[in-house]
Amino acid sequence: MKGLSGVFSIKAAGIRGQDLILAQHLIGDVTENDLMYVECYVSKNMGIFIPSVGFCQYAITPAHTHPSYSFILFYSKEQSFFENNIDLPDEHYLVATIAPGVPHEEKPSDNFTRYIAILIDKDYFERIYKEYSLENPNYNSEWKQFAVGYEVMPYIKKFMSEYQNRFTGYESILEHLSGIICHTLIRSLLEIQKESGFATERIEIENIIEYMHQHFGEKITIKKLAKRASMSESHFIRVFKKETGLSPMDYLIALRIEKAKKLLRAGTKNITEISLLCGFNSVSHFSSSFSKSEGISPSKYQNMYRES
């Protein structure tokens, strides 16, 4: 879908085969089942992992470690599950990072937090880091928090888009984007570069989309979204459609369908539970919306994955 960085992706990416091997290189001894609720986008030196409809089962494993450098980007300071210890400037995301091999865990709660986990190969990260400092990264025992400008998000979105679409040359583009994202994180970490001046309306729409991802199961209205974006309802609808190619409500329905598909593939909940979790007011509404979008009923879709 057209928008910030060329795409506002709502498709949840599964992972298996060679891509699972790439993920294991970055995450550790993770299984496909550990990532059943996670959107996954991986390349040789970098992986992006986003909890979509539930906790990453590996992330909540006590005292787990990663062989790579981990960066957790939160869409807002309030969503962080860390005790914030920095002042976050306007138009910046909060990021927490930790070095390879350091035990840590995400504490489960009633509601999972949607964040972006960026894992970067150890040798790759340290090779780029040496371009900025002769000293090794000095955060080997605890999470280090810092701010990164909104400008990093288009590169993250483009990485996700290239991974999903897999057009000719996508692997080379993923490597280039890995470098840009890595440099941006290091510059922000070392406070070398202060980003500012990003297009306000695009950022507001990006934040609204993230709100939809975090609250897709709740009652969401145009009035509520427009108020969050500090726009009139009519202006909000125009800007949203310009950036995404869809009206806000059409986007929300498509998002809920994608979340439902991930839950159906996971096979841990029945169709009634999934319809309620994904914000549909009835099973029949869910079934008709799903069939219209996918050309198949939710039950048949779920059975396809049970049989595979």
Using one digit for the tens of pLDDT, what is the confidence trace for 19-44? 999 999 999 999 999 999 999 999 99
15-19, 143-147, 174-178, 229-233, range with the lowest pLDDT = 15-19
Residues of the chain with CATH 2.60.120: 4-189
Q: What is the mean pLDDT of the chain?
A: 88
pLDDT tens figures, 190-234: 988 654 445 677 888 999 999 999 999 999 999 999 999 989 999
Cβ atoms of 117 and 72 closer than 8 Å = yes
| Beta-sheet pairing, 144-149 with 69-74 | unpaired
Cα separation values, 130 from 22, 183, 276, Å: 24, 11, 50
CA distance 45 to 59: 20
Can you give the pTM of this predicted structure?
0.78
Q: Is the pLDDT score of 136 beyond 90?
A: no
pLDDT tens figures, 55-88: 999 999 999 999 999 999 998 777 777 777 788 8
Q: How many CB atoms lie within 10 A of CB 205?
A: 25
Residues of the chain with CATH 1.10.10.60: 200-307
Q: What's the CATH code, domain 4-189? A: 2.60.120
Its CATH class, for the domain covering 200-307, is mainly alpha
Q: What is the per-residue pLDDT for 81?
A: 79
